[in-house]
Amino acid sequence: MLRLLLLLLLLLLPLAFAAPLIAQQPAADSAVVDTVAPGLVHTYVVRQEGPWRAHVVRVDLRSGQYAVRSVRALDSLRGRETVSGMVERARRDGRNVRVAINADFFNLGTGESVNNQVGDGRIWRALAWSGVPRGPMRSARGQFGVTRDGRPVIDRFVFTGTVHAGSSSWALDGVNVVPSNGQGLVLWLPEANGRYRADSARTGRELRVTVVSGNWRDSLMLRARGRVTAADSVPLPANEGALVAYGFTAARLDSIARVQGTFDVHASWLPSVGAIDQLVGGWPVILRDRVTMVEEAARREFTVACNANVRHPRSLVGFDADTSHLYLVAVDGRSAASVGMTLVETADFLRGLGVAHALNLDGGGSTALVVDGRVINTPSDPRGERMVANALLIEERRRPK
């Protein structure tokens, strides 16, 4: 009997020492799949290579059950709000929001997003060229949009507006934004919330206008009010606006001021993909036709090494080759469980999911992915979910009663 007990001890002793070692080993790679709703699938991906933890939501666009919407924090051009806060406001408005993710980079002080934004056909902000951090260089950052017929698109869009009056026309260079190079004709509308339309470096002259009728999906009909004056920051009442000329465009404004009666304003975008109903910015485009664009982005979008080549939490949007499925992705970072990804690692990860075209959104502490009202990733900001400038929402379309 004693011999049998000694034999058992000898057999169990190595296992006793091995147990703590086994417990310290990382879990295997895994993917937990959850169908949130028909055509809406959430996958939690664990990769030990990083280590990485990522949440992927795939949206089936073929049935037309889901709509993609671009929304502003606080429904304002300035100010910040959490993604879950934007979802809650939309739900109070009767919208069934199933998924949401943070979108563009923004000014931490004012909450203004860096790039263009269109929501439900309404232009919040549009510019012919977007500046790059700490400089007025003429470039264009990547953006994600949805055309009027519901097709997702990713490109470096620039705004090309036109003012028409009779047989005359003039170029319109932006909406609700001071041009980074101090040159251009810009239409300011009440959404600008009293932001300074000129400053010491970029003085401007303005012509007040009344919005007579129309919308950005077709054209805005305007009428001049008063005379050309120095640009200021007085808030614009509802149905009023201001055409502001910066630099050499002053002659355009003087010509428009002489127009008798109404004139109309049209919006378009280059490269042309048809009418755009939803648009948000990002930085940079990282996949095009399944080809990694990260190296090219350093030249085309002036990415910086501390963003591109360092592992960070990431927010991403993309779609497959036939535009049948949309992907919203949040990669956790800055923790022992998930260190985050570089842009090259992110592009490789997305391509492995079947994504053909992808855009990097604002990441770091801003990364937040919301499913059915709950933040499902782990934000890296010490205070939790960060207030951001805008978001993309996936909503169930309202059915006719």
Question: What is the per-residue pLDDT across 309-319, written as a single tens digit (0 to 9) for each?
Answer: 999 999 999 99
| Per-residue confidence band for 9, with pLDDT thresholds at 50, 70 and 90 | very low
Q: Is the pLDDT of residue 26 over 80?
A: no
Residue 21 in any domain: the answer is no
pLDDT at 195 (0 to 100): 80
What does pLDDT average to over the chain? 90
More confident position, 354 or 27: 354
What are the E-state strand segments in 235-368?
240-246, 262-266, 269-270, 276-281, 285-288, 291-292, 314-319, 325-331, 357-360
pLDDT at 398 (0 to 100): 79
Residue 68 in any domain: the answer is yes
262 and 275 within one domain: no
Angstrom distance (rounded) from CA 344 to CA 197: 39
pLDDT at 3 (0 to 100): 52
124 and 36 within one domain: yes
- CB neighbours (10 Å) of residue 207? 22
Token pair for 226 = 């008063």
Token pair for 283 = 């930085």
Cβ atoms of 116 and 277 within 8 Å: the answer is no
Please write the tens of the pLDDT for every residue from 210-241.
Answer: 999 999 999 999 999 999 999 988 888 889 99
Sign of CA dihedral 257, 260, 264, 269: negative
- CB neighbours (10 Å) of residue 296? 15
More confident position, 207 or 6: 207
Residue 101 in any domain: the answer is yes
84 and 225 within one domain: no
Question: At a CB cut-off of 8 Å and minimum separation 6, what does 211 contact?
Answer: 189, 220, 221, 222, 239, 240, 241
Last residue of a domain, one of 267, 301, 319: 267
216 and 73 within one domain: no
| Percent above pLDDT 70 for the chain | 90
154 and 39 within one domain: yes
129 and 97 within one domain: yes
Number of domains in the chain: 2
Residue 18 in any domain: the answer is no
Last residue of a domain, one of 213, 240, 267: 267
Angstrom distance (rounded) from CA 342 to CA 71: 27
275 and 128 within one domain: yes
Cβ atoms of 195 and 281 within 8 Å: the answer is no
Least confident range from 1-10, 52-61, 107-116, 263-272: namely 1-10
136 and 281 within one domain: yes
Domain extent for 176 = 161-267
134 and 39 within one domain: yes
pLDDT at 400 (0 to 100): 58
pLDDT at 13 (0 to 100): 43
| Percent above pLDDT 90 for the chain | 80
pLDDT at 27 (0 to 100): 60
Question: At a CB cut-off of 8 Å and minimum separation 6, what does 119 contact?
Answer: 69, 70, 71, 72, 278
Please write the tens of the pLDDT for every residue from 81-131.
Answer: 999 999 999 999 999 999 999 999 999 999 999 999 999 999 999 998 754
